[in-house]
Chains A and B, each alone.
Chain A
Amino acid sequence: MVPNSMDRISNLPQPILHHILSFLSQKEAIQTCVLSKSWRYIGSTRPNVEFIQYYFNGIEQKFMSVVNKTLQGYHDQKLCIQEFRVKMLELDSKSISLLEKWIPMVMLNKGLKTFDLSFFHSRTSVYFDLPSVVFEAESLLNLNLDRCKLNRNPIDKVLFKHLQTLCLREIYITEETLEKILSSCPLIENFSVFGCEGLRTIKVNKLRNLNYFAFDHIYGLYKNNDISIEIDAPTIKTIRIVTCPNWLHHHIHFPHLSCLFLDTVRLSSKSFDFFSCNLPSLEKFTVVNCYGFEEFHLSSRSIKHLSLLGIWEPIKATIDAPNILVFTYEAYISTSICFAITSREWKSDITLSNSADSDYNAASWFHKLSELLKSLSQSVISLKLTQGSRIFRQIEDPPDIKPLVIEHLSLAGNYSSSSFKAFLNCLFRVCRPRNISQCWYLDAHNGWKREEDKIIEFFVEILLIKRYRRGLRHYMIWLQDLEEVSMDENGQEWHPGEGIKFRFRLKWREFS
């Protein structure tokens, strides 16, 4: 008789309990053994095993004996291991000898689907010479390797007929070996390379099921920084490339690519022509810290989210994206952007940060800001300024421009109260925000706290209390246009998340 067969969970069939427990850590799964007698061997026989050395308080002996005991137990009871994950602290001669013992034991499982090897601390010059038996695991679906050397020449047999996910992290591999592996894995859907030595060109052109490709070269870690990538995969939906000088994409059409993320990639104006012509399904396009172009023209009916981030040099951008929903722009300078007419409602999130250069011309900065906002006037604009106000001390003549109403202004950075009035005078000539909030990066410990409080006091004084005083109105001419001000504090009816304390809502007089 099973005494507790009527409880709410124990009567589920064992395969289902195994499935549920497979989402828990090894530790939590083992803990379920004490729930009751019927649970005695469920958590300890689930088909996935995962060992994280960090849990063992650095006692290597304990870690080693637990893994040994577990693997031996699975082997003796002929239990199947479908997923094997091991994350060791570091790669040294000791961990290498352990892995050399464990991997062949794991590979005895004919149904192994996932093999995942990683290390907490990498960045050593040591590589683990992966036993060739791994390449014969025909049932593998997911292979995740870290700090392995794959230059066995030649790898005798690669039998990854079913492999769907291949992730290579800081590995040593030759081009021939990579090509051999990829050509034996026709079903790969996800392929990632994070740092690698021994490769000059990564060719991804034989994978007919590829859905996702990611590359991150992790600059500074490898000498061969002049790496090139060639992707020709008609099924691909997502490409992420980080730190790669050469993405060779001449004349290749990507009919299904919907998400493209490029960070620190060398581009040219022609690259953008290519994006316009060959990516008919592109919806989400992010360009971060890319270089090598001064102007570009981007035309896409499919783009919904466009992000231009980390613009260091002035660029001239012409964008025709009639279906855009969100445009995100983060730059060190305001630059020239021209949007073609759009019909539906869209948002633009603009973040400008600039360190105070000695030869910086504040009047020209405001002029450029005005131009940028005007070019985005079809959208609902949120503007975030992070450069502080010190540089504005010397402005005497604010630019004479008709101000544009924007939805939101967020101030983050070091705004000293002495220059703040001059700063606001100029800013409100350029734009009139419906909401103002502050967002501070730094906490109370590093000295900006006092400035922050001063600015809040300043706002309260200017906007809520003293704004009808005649002297002040004369000094701050924009106060005349301000009809109503109200203030929300974070945590009452308004919950903007952490880092934002208050919001002023401003109602401006309509001006023609």
Chain B
Amino acid sequence: MVTTDEKGPLTAKKKSVIIRSCDGDEFLVSESAAVLSTSLKKILEEKEDRLIHLSDIDNKTLAMVIAYLSTHADDGLSDDLKRSFDQEFVSGKEFDVLKYLVLATDTLQVTCLCYTVAKKMADIMKNKLVEWVRREFDIQNDYTPEAEAEIRRLDAWAWDDRQLEDD
């Protein structure tokens, strides 16, 4: 709750903040959108400054996060519309884009978006073989074949290929 504003609640409603990305781009964001990020909310509660500099989020990622925050701050949109916006938001995005988004939403503490993005990243990995994941993400297998076989042996149950039929 922003109640400490000196000018009273009427002007507090429409206030905006400027958020600057690490590469210097500035974004004008309504306060109601900004406070959906727990970190931004804390910063705004603590200091008068209306300019927030984010040293580890680039302009492209920040623009996406802000688009998300503004949509979710819009009271005119129904919950259903917001949900479908979320699905659209992550669909078709490259894994690397999602990676920067998950880092940014983690830093900014935008819990809902962080959840959606992490889930999308998991969906990409779901039902894939280890070899696929390694290839897709350029993970270099630095185990010796013996070491890898030993790990597989230790958790042999996880390598049985029985699939769940229902559920």
Binding site for B on A (CB under 8 A): 3-4, 6-10, 12-13, 15-16, 19-24, 26-28, 30-37, 39-40, 44, 52, 54-57, 62, 66
Contact = CB atoms under 8 A, between A and B. Distances in A.
B137 A19 contact: no
A20 B162 contact: no
Interface stretch (B14-22, B50-58, B61-69, B126-134): B126-134
A21 B130 contact: no
Q: What is the interface of chain A mostly: helix, strand, loop, or mixed?
A: helix
19 contacts: A8-B137, A15-B106, A19-B115, A20-B122, A23-B119, A23-B122, A23-B123, A23-B126, A24-B122, A28-B126, A30-B158, A31-B159, A33-B151, A34-B148, A34-B152, A52-B164, A55-B157, A56-B157, A56-B160
A62 B102 contact: no
B142 A36 contact: yes
Contacts of A34: 130, 141, 143, 148, 151-152
Interface in B95-122: 95-96, 99, 102-103, 106, 114-115, 118-119, 121-122
B125 interface: yes
Contact of A3 (B106, B123, B140): B140
Nearest to A3: B142
Contacts of A36: 134, 139-143
Contact of B139 (A19, A24, A35): A35
A33 B160 contact: no
Nearest to A30: B158
A20 B140 CA distance: 20
A4 B142 CA distance: 8
Contact of B118 (A20, A31, A55): A20
Given A8-B99, A55-B160, A16 B106 contact: yes
A4 B134 CA distance: 11
B75 interface: no
A7 B143 contact: no
B103 A16 contact: yes
Which of B127, B141, B155 has the most C-beta atoms of chain A within 10 angstroms of its own C-beta?
A: B155
Given A57-B160, A57-B162, A7 B140 contact: yes
